[in-house]
Amino acid sequence: DTGVSQDPRHKITKRGQNVTFRCDPISEHNRLYWYRQTLGQGPEFLTYFQNEAQLEKSRLLSDRFSAERPKGSFSTLEIQRTEQGDSAMYLCASSADSYEQYFGPGTRLTVT
């Protein structure tokens, strides 16, 4: 197992388009997290799953954002009608039953 992977690594899109990101966690990890990170800031929590259940969502997660983890394995984060303010690094992390999180390399989104 090589760790958490994210795809794509970079995405450039035009304002108003929809984008979808994928995260593949470490296989035995039951928790999966999405964060957003902007320049000069730490990661901000967006949402997290335990197995396939989405247990918590941040107020940052507007109605244009949706996340799924259909079989408790990989997860997708979709942003509809992208805005320039959505430009950021989107990080995925996974964890087992401990509090230690393992991060993927992130997807950098640029909205033009």
Stretch that binds another protein, among 13-21, 33-41, 64-72, 80-88 (CB under 8 A): 33-41
Residue 63 binds another protein, judged by CB under 8 A: no
What CA–CA distance (Å, rounded) separates 107 from 7? 7
Residue 25 binds another protein, judged by CB under 8 A: no
Residue 40 binds another protein, judged by CB under 8 A: yes
Buried-state track 47-70, b at ≥16 Cβ within 10 A, e below 16: bbbeeeeeeeeeeebeeebbbebe
Residues engaged in binding another protein (CB under 8 A) = 4, 31, 33, 40-45, 48, 56, 91, 93, 95, 99-106, 108
